[in-house]
């Protein structure tokens, strides 16, 4: 359909919309007033990773379209653990850890959103502020009467777990109730009209909408984003090396940049639309590039995302490092560094020391497989000794490079 509101047009043309609860209603509302919309985030780690980036960008788009982004930190719900998409119950976190995580995560949002007191300025809430005060009896009375077990059991988050014969605790079972309560609370006390989230949050969002209607007669809306996987089917933001963290201190900017630079060809257009502010016609031009030319688009993608998330300088340095390292066969300042003693260093120790191998055995296998290089030359002798005195380039495979710098 063709949307009247800037908001829905923007979201639609950039590929953020998977499902909408009431397209016409929301479109009409967004066309005539500022819509405060929220997304909830977990506080299980001190940083969010790329898997949350769609949601973060969604809040950014909301603000770009003249509405008010509301970041809801799950300080309370994190104490429960969202069972959605999980086979195993989550470990409990201490209050101090959760508070520290929230503080750390906030720094990310400050890069993507403008916070303040104005009508379209972003705000952040912590659901512990109200969930923490909720008494059990009170909750049962006010909220419990609006949920039937029959219906709760049909939700995917519950059903999948039961079907897979995986345990689900009562604690987790209550997650959807608390999340529904959040929406109702924000709608009632902060004027929030919209909740957004991943497609797996549909059930939770719908619960909140229903709860707000039944308890207060308020009409609120929901949008979910498509489940984002990379072209080869993996979840966004998870690599075997670990999650692609957004915070500076959780993942070096160079590695962050490389994640985007190594995107699958097929994902380039989608990523540019979702994760950069580039105009659509420019994106159309970039994604039309064929063969090795698509690499130009990947560099732009990496630059743009890194700039948004890590700042202009981080993006520039990462690009320069990549250019020097890959095109020039030289060294960029962003590469990992290991001190090279004057007496030199054994190849195995160097590989382990710089983090390219987790154990000596792994380093040996790397050498035996021909993947270990010094200054671009394959080292096949595991007793190889790297002479000290000069800066050397050490590599594992074609992509991982590091600097051995004389002490």
Partner RNA sequence: GGACAGGUGGCCGAGUGGUUAAAGGCAGCAGACUGUAAAUCUGCCCGCGCAAGCGUACGCUAGUUCGAAUCUAGCCCUGUCCA
Contact set with RNA (CB under 7 A): 87, 162, 165-168, 231-232, 234, 239-241, 258, 261-265, 291-292, 294-295, 298, 322-323, 325-326, 358-362, 365-366, 369-371, 382, 396-400
Which CB atom, from 86 or from 360, has the smaller least distance to RNA? 360
Give the shortest CB-261-to-RNA separation in angstroms: 5
Give the shortest CB-285-to-RNA separation in angstroms: 16
Nearest residue to 219 (alpha-carbon basis) of 24, 10, 17:
24
Residue 34 to residues 63, 80, 104, 116, 185: CA-CA distances in angstroms?
Answer: 10, 32, 29, 15, 19
Which CB atom, from 358 or from 390, has the smaller least distance to RNA? 358
Give the shortest CB-400-to-RNA separation in angstroms: 5
Which CB atom, from 140 or from 162, has the smaller least distance to RNA? 162
Helix (H) or strand (E) holding 204: helix 202-216
Give the shortest CB-323-to-RNA separation in angstroms: 7
Which CB atom, from 189 or from 295, has the smaller least distance to RNA? 295
Which CB atom, from 125 or from 275, has the smaller least distance to RNA? 275
Which CB atom, from 132 or from 361, has the smaller least distance to RNA? 361
Give the shortest CB-324-to-RNA separation in angstroms: 9
Burial, 175: exposed, middle or buried (Cβ in 10 Å; 0-12, 13-18, 19+)?
Answer: buried
Contact 155, 100 (CB under 8 A): no
Cross-strand pairs, 185: none
Give the shortest CB-57-to-RNA separation in angstroms: 22
The b-or-e profile of 276-314 (16+ CB within 10 A means b, else e) is: beeeeeebeebbebeeeebeebbbbbbbbbbbbbbeeeb
Q: What is the C-alpha separation between 149 and 4, in angstroms, rounded?
A: 39
């Amino acid at each position: 359909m063709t949307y009247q509101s800037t908001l829905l047009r923007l979201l639609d043309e950039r590929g953020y919309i998977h499902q909408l609860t009431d397209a016409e209603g929301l479109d009409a509302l967004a066309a005539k007033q500022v819509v405060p919309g929220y997304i909830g985030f977990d506080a299980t780690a001190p940083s969010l990773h790329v898997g949350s980036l769609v949601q973060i960008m969604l809040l950014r788009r909301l603000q770009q379209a003249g509405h008010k982004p509301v970041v809801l930190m799950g300080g309370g719900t994190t104490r429960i653990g969202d069972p959605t998409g999980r086979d195993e119950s989550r470990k409990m976190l201490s209050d101090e850890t959760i508070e520290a995580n929230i503080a750390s995560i906030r720094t990310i949002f400050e890069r993507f959103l403008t916070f303040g007191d104005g009508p379209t300025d972003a705000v952040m809430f912590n659901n512990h502020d109200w969930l923490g005060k909720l008494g059990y009896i009170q909750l049962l009375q006010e909220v419990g009467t609006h949920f039937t077990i029959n219906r709760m059991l049909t939700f995917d988050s519950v059903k999948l777990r039961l079907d897979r014969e995986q345990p689900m605790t009562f604690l987790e079972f209550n997650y959807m109730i608390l999340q529904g309560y959040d929406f109702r609370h924000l709608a009632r006390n902060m004027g929030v009209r919209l909740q957004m989230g991943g497609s797996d949050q549909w059930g939770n969002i719908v619960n909140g909408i229903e709860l707000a209607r039944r308890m207060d007669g308020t009409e609120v809306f929901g949008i979910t984003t498509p489940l984002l996987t990379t072209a080869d089917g993996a979840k966004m933001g998870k690599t075997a090396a670990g999650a692609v963290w957004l915070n500076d201190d959780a993942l070096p900017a160079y590695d962050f940049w490389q994640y985007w630079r190594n995107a699958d060809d097929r994902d380039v257009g989608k990523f540019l639309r979702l994760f950069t502010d580039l105009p659509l016609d420019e994106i159309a031009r970039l994604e039309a590039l064929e063969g090795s030319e698509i690499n130009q688009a990947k560099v732009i993608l990496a630059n743009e995302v890194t700039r948004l998330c890590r700042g202009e300088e981080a993006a520039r340095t990462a690009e320069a490092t990549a250019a020097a390292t890959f095109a020039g066969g030289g060294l960029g300042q962003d590469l990992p560094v290991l001190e090279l003693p004057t007496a030199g260093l054994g190849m195995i120790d160097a590989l382990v020391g710089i983090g390219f191998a987790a154990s000596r055995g792994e380093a040996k296998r790397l050498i035996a497989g021909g993947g270990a290089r010094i200054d671009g030359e394959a080292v096949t002798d595991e007793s190889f000794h790297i002479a000290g005195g000069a800066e050397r380039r050490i590599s594992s495979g074609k992509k991982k490079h590091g600097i051995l710098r004389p002490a």
